Amino acid sequence: MKYFTYKSLEDLSRECEALGTRHVRFEPEPERIKAALLRTVTVGSFRLGNSVAIHPMEGCDGTADGSPGELTWRRYERFARGGAKLVWFEATAVCEEGRANPRQLWIHERNADAFARLLERIEHVHREQYGTSADLLEPIQLTHSGRYCFRRPIVASHNPAIDRKTRIAADYPVISDDELERLEDDYVAAGRLALQAGFRAVDLKVTHGYLLSELMGAKERCGQYGGSLENRTRFVRNVLGKFRAEFGRKLILCIRLGCYDGLPYAAAPGEKTGSSLPYDLPYRHGFGTSQENPLQEDLTEVRQAIGLFRRDGLDLLNVSLGSPYYNPHIVRPFEVPDEGNYEQPEHPLWGVDRHFRIAGALQAEFPDLPMVGSGYSWLQRYSLNAAGRNIADGHIRIFGLGRGALAYPDFARDALQNGALDERRVCKTLTFCTYLMRQKDHPLGQWPTGCPPFDKEIYGPIVKEARHAQRRRMAGGPAGEPQ
C-alpha cells in the first residue's frame, strides 16, 4: 500500500490530525527550522556545532579482519562533507565472535591504526569544508551482536517468539555470567583502542535485539545479569564505570538505547500484512514494554535505567525503538518492506508518532541529558519541519537521520543553508539498503549496503549483481564476484 501521497505540508498535517498522531508536529517556516538546527549542543565538556546527527549506519563493507574497506572510507568522506556535527560511527564489534556478518567492522590491536587513519580523514575533509572539526563529534559504536552473531548465536535470554523468529531452540545454552564478566573487559579494551585511535566518544549499542539490548529485557534470566532491573543494567553500568575509572573524562560516554522492544511480528501464511506473534500475559520479556499490554510502551524502567546510566557517567543518549529483525515497522517506519518481509501493520505515521512520543517523554524527564531523536526518514522532505518543531519545543535536542543520510549524505548542509531539503534526493524508505544487508550469498559472505536509487553509480550495479546471485543460488549456481 502506498502511504506517502502528500503534495504539501498542509496535506501531511491534515493526515496527522485525522489519524490523531498528535506528537507529529511541524514548523512551516524555513528560517525557524534553520535557527533550531543551528543551535549548538553541550555534550559533557564538548560543544557540538549544530543540532544535526547522522545515525550509525552500517555499510557491511569492512575487510575480513574488521578494518574499514574502500566503501567505508567513501561513506564517511561523504558524511564528513555533509554538514552534520554529530557523525555517529557505525556498529563496531568488540571481539571477532561478536560480529553480525563477516564484513562488519571490528576494532582490535592489529587494525586500530586503520581506524585512526579513517578518523583523521573524516576530520580533514570536514575542516576543508567548514574551517574546523573542533566542534565535530564521532562516537564509535561498540557492539556485540548476541543471537545475531554470524558464526554462532550467543543468547542472553530466551523469548519463545524471538527464538521462533531466529530458529533457536528453547534449550539452547545462554551466555554465562562468567563469560559476560570477561566480555565487559573486551568493551574496555575496545574503548582503549578507540581512544588511542583518536575517538573522543564511545557508544554502547544497547538496542535492536543485540546482546546488551537482550540483557536489558532479560527478566527471566537467572544470575547477576538477569531478573531485577539492577541486574539487567549491570553489564552496561559496569562498562560505564570501568570507562570512567580508566579514562576519566578523556572519553565522552554515549548509549544508543532501545527504549521500547515491542513484540515480534510476522505475516501469517497467505497474508502480507504483519501481525504480532502469540504471547502470554503478563508478558515477561523485552525492555520498555508493558507487561499487561505489550503493544504499548511502559517507560517506568526506561526512566530508571537512564537515571542509573546518568549516575555512572552517561553524557549523550540516542533514543531508538524495536528491532529490524523482528519488528522493523517499529524501528523504522517504511513505505516498502525489504524483500520477503511483512507489509506495514499500521500507518507509518503511527510509527513516527511512537518515536516522537517516547523520545519527547524521556527528554522532558532528563532535560540536562542531550538526546538524539530517531524515526524521521519516512517523513521525507518534511523531516526537517518535524525536527525544527521538536527541537524548538524541547522535545529533543538533536535531530538524527539514518537511512536518509545514505541517500542524501549532505542533507545537513541543505537543511542549515535553506531550511529545506531537495525533494529529488530524499530517501523514499523503499528498503533497498536493508535488502542488500540481508543478502549473504556474496563470496565474502555479505553484500555491501547503500542506497541504489540515489547512489546509483556505486550501489546500482551492486544490487543488480546481488539479485543475480540470489537467482543463481536459488537455481543452484555459483555466487557472484566480490565487491
Q: Domain holding 323: CATH number?
A: 3.20.20.70
Residue recorded with cell 517523554: 361
The Cα 347–Cα 379 span in angstroms is 12
pLDDT tens digits along 25-46: 999 999 999 999 999 999 999 9
CA 394 – CA 391 distance, rounded (Å)? 5
Residue 2 lies in a domain: no
Q: Is 315 within the bounds of a domain?
A: yes
Q: Kindly report, residue by residue over 465-475, the tens digit of the pLDDT.
A: 999 999 888 88
Q: What does the DSSP assignment read for 231-276? A: HHTHHHHHHHHHHHHHHTTSSEEEEEEES-----EEEPTT--BEEE
What helix, strand, coil percent values describe the chain, rounded to 5?
40, 10, 45
Whether residue 483 lies inside any domain: the answer is: no
> What confidence score (pLDDT) does residue 263 get?
97
Task: Judge if 151 and 232 occupy the same domain.
Answer: yes
Interval 434-452 mean pLDDT: 95
Q: Do residue 445 and residue 342 come from a single domain?
A: no
Average pLDDT for the chain: 96
Does residue 468 belong to any structural domain of this protein? Answer: yes
Query: Are residues 360 and 439 both part of a single domain?
Result: no
Owning domain of residue 57: 9-430
294-308 pLDDT tens trace: 999 999 999 999 999
405 and 449 share a domain? Answer: no
The residue-averaged pLDDT of 149-154 equals 97
In a domain, 239, yes or no: yes
pLDDT confidence bin for 481, thresholds 50/70/90 = very low
Q: Over the stretch 79-89, which tens digit does the pLDDT of each residue have?
A: 999 999 999 99
Taking only the tens place, the pLDDT of each residue in 422-431 is: 999 999 999 9
Domain co-membership, 238 together with 103? yes
Distance from C-alpha of 46 to C-alpha of 1, rounded to nearest angstrom: 45
Q: Is there a domain that residue 3 lies in?
A: no
Q: Are residues 338 and 440 in the same domain?
A: no
46-48/41-43 β-pairing: antiparallel
Whether 302 and 341 map to the same domain: the answer is yes
Same domain for 176 and 57: yes
pLDDT cut 90: percent of the chain above it: 96
482: pLDDT strictly greater than 70: no
Distance CA 411, CA 404 (A): 8
pLDDT digits (tens, 9 = 90+) for 358-385: 999 999 999 999 999 999 999 999 999 9
pLDDT band at 477 (very low <50, low <70, confident <90, very high): low
Q: What is the pLDDT of residues 250-288, one digit of tens each?
A: 999 999 999 999 999 999 999 999 999 999 999 999 999
Domain identity same for 106 and 195: yes
pLDDT at 345: 97
State the pLDDT at residue 357: 98
Residue 404 has pLDDT above 80, yes or no: yes
Point out the domain boundary residue: 430, 446, 461: 430
Query: What pLDDT shows up at residue 479?
Result: 52
Residues belonging to the chain: 483
One domain, residues 216 and 241: yes
Q: Is residue 218 part of a domain?
A: yes
Residue 155 sits in the same domain as residue 242: yes
Tell me the pLDDT band of 478, cut-offs 50, 70 and 90: low
Number of domains in the chain: 2
Residue 483 has pLDDT above 60, yes or no: no
Return the amino acid letter for 268. A
Determine how β-strand 46-48 pairs with β-strand 201-206: unpaired
Same-domain pairing of 447 and 307: no
Write down the pLDDT at residue 62.
98
Confidence of residue 1 (pLDDT cuts 50, 70, 90): confident
Please report whether residue 1 resides in a domain.
Answer: no
- The residues near 390 (Cβ < 8 Å, ≥ 6 apart) are 25, 356, 359, 360, 373, 396, 399
CA-to-CA distance for 475 and 216, rounded, in angstroms?
42
* C-alpha torsion angle, residues 112, 189, 57, 420 (rounded to 10): -90
Q: What is the grid cell recorded at 181?
A: 564478566
